[in-house]
Amino acid sequence: MLDRLLSHDRPRSRLLALALIAVVVTLAVAPFVFPGAKALSVAAKTLIFILLVASFDLLLGYTGIVSFAHTMFFGIGAYGVAVASTRLGEGVLAVVAGTAAALLLSLLLSLLIGLFSLRVKAIFYAMITLAVASAFQTLASQLSEITGGEDGLTFRNPAYLSPSFEPFENPVLGLALDGKVFTYYLLFVAVVLLFLALLRIVNSPFGRVLQAIRENDFRAEAIGYSTVAYRTWSNVLSAAFATLAGVLLALWLRYVGPDTTLSFEIMLDILLIVVIGGMGTMYGAVVGAALFVLAQNYLQDLLALGATALQGVPVLEQIVSPDRWLLWLGVLFVLSVYHFPSGIVGRLRALALRPRR
């Protein structure tokens, strides 16, 4: 049953299986085990990035397409819900209408980009997507009457997803269940289902053709597969899942702005997570997103503890200063790439094969 649920794509490593179980279980019980707004926000961000990175890996790791427009579709999903909620008012109808409109716009844009740009070479396609994404970010910043401009849009979720919604008078297992907790578990269920759908796609005959195109597009074309058509559909599917990730982010934050969804820093984060977790492995999105988001949010706290312990030591106190957390994050990334050139998932799977050989 579990094997079918995972589309017969097993972790193929005990350590990887334990890591995946640890991540899923931790995210499932996070509201009950890790109290506090920051811990819950970190868990929610991890869920959203798992889906966002997995959707990008469908494009980069499985099809071999480098695109810098992924955050554009991410932003379209978030802005779709925000604009619909501000125009139609809070409610399920606004969320559904905003999601449907965002998906339609993303599908049209991804289809146009795929049809007109995928015939060019990889570097030129990457530049085209970067230009399109930059233009869309500028457009979102200038259309203040619709998008709120640089200030963004703040909106209200449906009543049962609002933090003020408290259906139970007494806490359940020590946790006061409110709309924020319900929103978190909505994210959890949605990400699990969408991730399983992505697993099914990459392990289907369609996914096998994408991998064949990634390895040798000329050979795939020679045996009868239209590489442009398959790459275009891969671009469309990737954009659709990224749009849904943006919808989930908007529901969680109840705010959308250019910096939260459309900034190039988010695109860099996605690329880093893909490399850390491992390209061409959906499980890499889970492991990579969990490690990266944890480091991004708690590395400063660890450095603060180190700076306190080394207080008075002239050089070391400055090296471990919390202000230098980006430096240490870069060092950790370089070390991970050096020791795990195929990503964490690829390394663990390679280690699992050694005893058999």
pLDDT confidence of residue 320 = 77
Which residues have C-beta within 8 Å of that of residue 177, sequence separation ≥ 6? 166, 167, 168, 171
Mean pLDDT for the chain overall: 88
Confidence of residue 327 (pLDDT cuts 50, 70, 90): confident
CATH top-level class of 2-353: mainly alpha
Q: Are 147 and 83 in contact (CB under 8 A)?
A: yes
Q: Beta partners for 175?
A: 172
| C-alpha span between 185 and 284 (Å, rounded) | 22
State yes or no: pLDDT of 69 exceeds 80. Answer: yes
The model carries a pTM of 0.93
| Confidence band of 356 (pLDDT split at 50, 70, 90) | low
Domain boundaries, the chain: 2-353
The DSSP element (H or E) to which 154 belongs, if any, is strand 153-154
- Close Cβ partners of 235 (under 8 Å, ≥ 6 residues apart): 59, 65, 67, 110, 111, 113, 114, 118
Among 149-153, 198-202, 240-244, the minimum mean pLDDT is found in: 149-153
For 45-67, the pLDDT digits (tens) are: 999 999 999 999 999 999 888 88
Does position 357 have pLDDT exceeding 60, yes or no? no
Per-residue pLDDT, 241: 97
Q: Residue 285 — pLDDT band, cuts 50, 70, 90? A: very high
* 3-state SS class at 247: helix
CA distance 67 to 94: 30
Residues near 160 by beta carbon (within 8 Å), at least 6 away in sequence: 167, 179, 182
CA atoms of 253 and 37, how far apart (whole Å):
12
Q: What proportion of the chain, given as a percentage, has pLDDT over 70?
A: 97
What would the two tokens of residue 43 be?
A: 């868990």
- CA pair distance 145, 135, nearest whole angstrom: 18
Alpha-carbon torsion angle 89, 92, 94, 97, nearest 10: -170
Of 46, 51, 10, 20, the C-alpha closest to 293 is 46
Q: Do 102 and 261 form a contact (C-beta atoms < 8 A)?
A: no
pLDDT of residue 324: 77
DSSP 175: B
Count of H-run helices and E-run strands, the chain? 17, 2
Backbone angles phi, psi at 122, to 5 degrees: -55, -45
Q: What is the mean pLDDT of residues 336-351?
A: 85
Average confidence (pLDDT) over 5-33: 90
Q: What is the pLDDT of residue 169?
A: 76
So what's the pLDDT on residue 251? 94
- Average pLDDT for residues 287-316, to the nearest whole number? 82
User: Given the structure tokens 């009950």, which residue do they identify?
Assistant: 32
User: Are 247 and 81 within 8 A, CB to CB?
Assistant: yes
Asked if residues 213 and 63 have their Cβ atoms less than 8 Å apart, the reply is yes
DSSP characters over 65-110:
---S-HHHHHHHHHHHHHHHHHHH-SSHHHHHHHHHHHHHHHHHHH
What's the pLDDT tens digit per position in 244-258?
A: 999 999 999 999 998
pLDDT at residue number 355: 58
Half-sphere exposure at residue 22, Cβ-oriented, CA atoms within 13 angstroms = 9
Q: How confident is the model at residue 97 (pLDDT cuts 50, 70, 90)?
A: very high
**Cα distance between residue 17 and residue 6, in whole Å:** 12
Q: Would you state the structure tokens that stand for residue 83, as one six-digit string?
A: 């604009």
- Name the least confident of 10-19, 82-91, 122-131, 282-291: 122-131
Phi, psi of 167 (to 5 degrees): -75, -20
Q: Over the stretch 202-215, which tens digit does the pLDDT of each residue have?
A: 999 999 999 998 88
CA pair distance 69, 261, nearest whole angstrom:
12
